[in-house]
Amino acid sequence: MALKKRNILILPIIIIIAFVGYFTYKKCTEYLEKLEHEINQKSLEYSLIKQEIDDNKVYEEKWDSIKSFMNELPGDRMNNYGDFLINLETERNFDLQSTPEEVPIPANEEMQEIVFKLQFTSTITDLAEFLGRLDSEQNKLLQIKSMTVNYHGKSFRPGYSTIDKNEDKELVVDLVLATPAKAVESEENDIKYGGTLLP
């Protein structure tokens, strides 16, 4: 009788222990799987970051090779490039009119563009030389953003080219040049350099 009573007590205890054991096992397994999943995610994230860093490491070297201009003050850079353009124009005796201005680059808050709007009249030869000089300046960060050339000479006649033989400056050229510079951080710079190219 006592044995039966004990068995009656033991049976539900075993069932409860089995249930609690199964529940605990399930929860533990779930928790371990969650941790494993988290480890996999973090590993993947870290691998991707490493891969991206490795893939883009080359840009660091490239940027290091050109980034010295970021140490220049925008005003100094404007003057330097202004001087460079004046020299080119002086060589060709261009009647240069230029308007420099600082324009922000939307995609990059740390930089801006210094834009030089040039207008002059030229012969075709001088223009070609001028463009050739600009194009060949490999070490300068320089871009011709646009160019408009208008011929306002005499009308052509077949077999006779005024451009080839006439020394007159019959081409009116509008040229927009740009170079990158460090973004202006204070109004002081704007006031100091005034946003105009010195003649």
Residue 22 interacts with other proteins (CB under 8 A): yes or no: no
Residue 67 interacts with other proteins (CB under 8 A): yes or no: yes
Calculated CA dihedral for residues 12, 17, 22, 23, nearest 10 degrees: 100
Residue 179 interacts with other proteins (CB under 8 A): yes or no: yes
Nearer to other proteins, 11 or 28 (CB): 28
Work out how close the CB of 148 gets to other proteins at its nearest, in angstroms, rounded to a whole number: 5
Nearer to other proteins, 88 or 111 (CB): 111
DSSP the chain: -HHHHHHHHHHHHHHHHHHHHHHHHHHHHHHHHHHHHHHHHHHHHHHHHHHHHHHHHHHHHHHHHHGGGGGS-HHHHHHHHHHHHHHHHHHTT---EEEEEEEEETTEEEEEEEEEEEEEEE-HHHHHHHHHHHHH--SS--EEEEEEEEE-SPPPBTTB-HHHH--S--EEEEEEEEEEEEPP-SHHHHHHHTT----
Closest CA to 128 of 95, 84, 87, 164: 164
Work out how close the CB of 73 gets to other proteins at its nearest, in angstroms, rounded to a whole number: 18
Nearer to other proteins, 4 or 157 (CB): 157
- Of 85, 96, 118, 178, which one interacts with other proteins (CB under 8 A)? 178
Scan residues 143-162 and list those touching other proteins (CB under 8 A): 143-151, 155-159, 161
Nearer to other proteins, 161 or 192 (CB): 161
Residue 125 interacts with other proteins (CB under 8 A): yes or no: no
Residue 30 interacts with other proteins (CB under 8 A): yes or no: no
Residue 56 interacts with other proteins (CB under 8 A): yes or no: yes
Calculated CA dihedral for residues 20, 24, 27, 28, nearest 10 degrees: -170
Nearer to other proteins, 73 or 115 (CB): 115
Residue 27 interacts with other proteins (CB under 8 A): yes or no: no
Q: Which residues bind other proteins (CB under 8 A)?
A: 28, 31-32, 35-36, 38-39, 42-43, 45-46, 49-50, 52-53, 56-57, 59-60, 62-67, 105, 107-111, 128, 131-132, 134-135, 137-139, 141-151, 155-159, 161, 178-180
